[in-house]
Amino acid sequence: SVQPATFAFNEANAAAAEQWIAKYPKGREQSAIIPLLMIAQEQEGWVTKAAIETISDMLGMPRIRGLEVATFYTQYQLNPVGTRAHIQVCGTTPCMLRGSEALMDVCRSKIHHDQFHTNDKGTLSWEEVECLGACVNAPMVMIFKDTFEDLTPERLAEIIDL
């Protein structure tokens, strides 16, 4: 993927970042990295190398530590994802037993055969993820911040086609 050379929070997100940093005691500001990376991802659609570096610099931490955090948590997308929807399909045991593989088949046929790729228009992408925390309502997917539970392949296809 093409990495942008620079990153800057927009005005509203810069204010939100400062609010997050202020929540931590002096000397512990680095703890704000997780919410700041999430704000960057919400702004850009994914977490760029420039965003990691900018946020690390804001927090006075080595850039490698910022990269370690961004690569440790699967919630951060380190490559461009669909601009309209990035679908995360839970693939852990409860969802698998209740049909998540059929949901992944829908994603393969409607978006791209392989996860972490966008469709031809760049509007949709998908990936299999670990537990999304709604095992009682398996199978489920998360699209950005929204969860869809008790899904059938037919219903997921409808959601994708919206």
Q: Output the pTM of the full model.
A: 0.80
> Where residue 64 sits, what CATH number does that domain have?
1.10.10
Share of the chain above pLDDT 70, in %: 99
Same domain for 98 and 153, yes or no, is yes
Q: Is residue 142 part of a domain?
A: yes
Domain residues for the domain of 32 are 11-72
Q: 25, 48, 72: which is the final residue of a domain?
A: 72
Tens of pLDDT, residue by residue over 140-161, are 999 988 999 999 999 999 999 9
pLDDT value at residue 126: 97
Is 60 in the same domain as 96?
A: no
* 61 domain residue, yes or no: yes
Alpha-carbon gap, residue 145 to 39, rounded angstroms:
13
Dihedrals φ, ψ of 118, to 5°? -90, 165
Look at the chain and report how many structural domains it folds into: 2
- The secondary structure of residue 3, as a DSSP letter, is P
Phi then psi for residue 127, to 5 deg, are -160, 155
| Pair 155, 90 in one domain | yes
Q: What is the pLDDT of residues 27-75, one digit of tens each?
A: 999 999 999 999 999 999 999 999 999 999 999 999 999 999 999 988 8
User: What distance in Å separates the CA atoms of residue 40 and residue 32, rounded to the nearest whole number?
Assistant: 12
**72: amino acid identity, one letter:** F
Contacts of 14 (CB under 8 A, 6+ apart): 8
